A = this chain, B = another copy of it.
Amino acid sequence: MELVFKMDKTMINAMTRLQESCKKNGPLCVGLDMSPAYLPPEVIKKFDTVQDAVLAYNEAIIEAVKGNASCFKVQVAYYEAMGLKGMEVYAKTLKAVRKTGLPVISDIKRGDIADTATAYAKAHFSGDFETDIVTVNPYMGFDTLLPFVEYTKTAGKGIFVLLRTSNPGMVDIEQQELVSGERVLDRVGNHLATLSKEFFSFQETLVDSQKSACSPIGAVVGCTEESDAQMLREKYPQLFFLIPGYGAQGGKARIAATLLKNAGGTVNSSRGIIASWKKDESLQDKRDAGVLTLSDIAESAGKAALASKKDLLLACDELLK
């Protein structure tokens, strides 16, 4: 399948853009994992459809938090769950984020073989659903990553491969010990380090203005366990991390800060930002009266983003002491 986008001389790889954005704007990634359940009914009913409400909500949140976010993550599952109109909202949300100039991560966790993997890479790195960086599931084998890796070289795209997720079930496969002495996740991590090295070798053929400081091959590492965080951060200093598990999922800023060392990373918070209105004390009266507006909840999200950013930066400072 032919690649639709080609690198031009001014194109900076998306992962390098993200790394730079984290340095400038702080490490927070705002997750637009938008279930209609995160919207108050009085806001939904002002729109013709739930999908229209979700799009307006996303646009308001993007505007309210963009000053305190390094990037946005859009979880496609929630949009698929809203059917064809949901997929339209998904495409429009990606465009709305890209208009801010901040990188956008599509949390798609796709993984498949051969031509099918090529189709997924084309689907999310070009056309209606074009994004900057995708998450990828490596379970079916390392051959399944290649079509995505191709776009890191030819179109400035990036990938985050699942390495150590933040859910309890990650013990079932990821953490299993192999006879070789490593765990399943170590095999994945080592392969990502190899792909990363290969990328830097490939770059040697490019002119300086095309070279990326950061490897476009990143990894998903949850901030739910300190010892794993330390081990993975030390073992893969060159990999940029997408860090889920912070905030509503119970991960700690201190563990996130550990993962932010070396190449760094971006720390996702979804519900903690987009549904912050549910626990915002200043909104209690309006919430009880059922008169919340879109600007109330966007404003609350803006405050939550600033607070999360400060919390993460403080944890980074304390780690340096």
Check A129/B80 contact, CB under 8 A, given A141-B172, A167-B113, A169-B142: yes
Contact with B along A81-101 (1 / 0, CB 8 A): 111100110010000000000
Do B116 and A77 touch across chains, with their CB atoms under 8 A apart? yes
Say yes or no for A258: interface residue by CB 8 A criterion: no
- What residues of chain B lie closer than 8 Å to A112, measured between beta carbons? 77, 109
The count of chain A contact residues (Cβ–Cβ below 8 Å) is 60
Q: Which of B113, B120, B169 is close to A81, meaning CB atoms less than 8 Å apart?
A: B120
Say yes or no for A166: interface residue by CB 8 A criterion: yes
Number of copies: 2
Tell me the A167-181 residues at the B interface (CB within 8 Å).
167-174, 176-180
Do B170 and A83 touch across chains, with their CB atoms under 8 A apart? no
Do A165 and B37 touch across chains, with their CB atoms under 8 A apart? no
Do B176 and A187 touch across chains, with their CB atoms under 8 A apart? yes
Looking at the assembled complex, report how far the CB atom of A114 sits from the nearest CB atom of chain B, in whole angstroms. Answer: 7
Q: Which of B140, B171, B172 is close to A165, meaning CB atoms less than 8 Å apart?
A: B140
- What residues of chain B lie closer than 8 Å to A120, measured between beta carbons? 77, 80-81
Query: A-side interface residues toward B, CB under 8 Å?
Result: 1, 33, 35, 37, 75, 77-78, 80-84, 87-88, 91, 109-117, 119-120, 122-124, 127-129, 137-144, 162, 165-174, 176-180, 184, 187-188, 191
Interchain residue pairs A-B with the least CB separation, the first 7: A141-B169, A83-B128, A143-B169, A139-B139, A80-B123, A113-B167, A77-B119
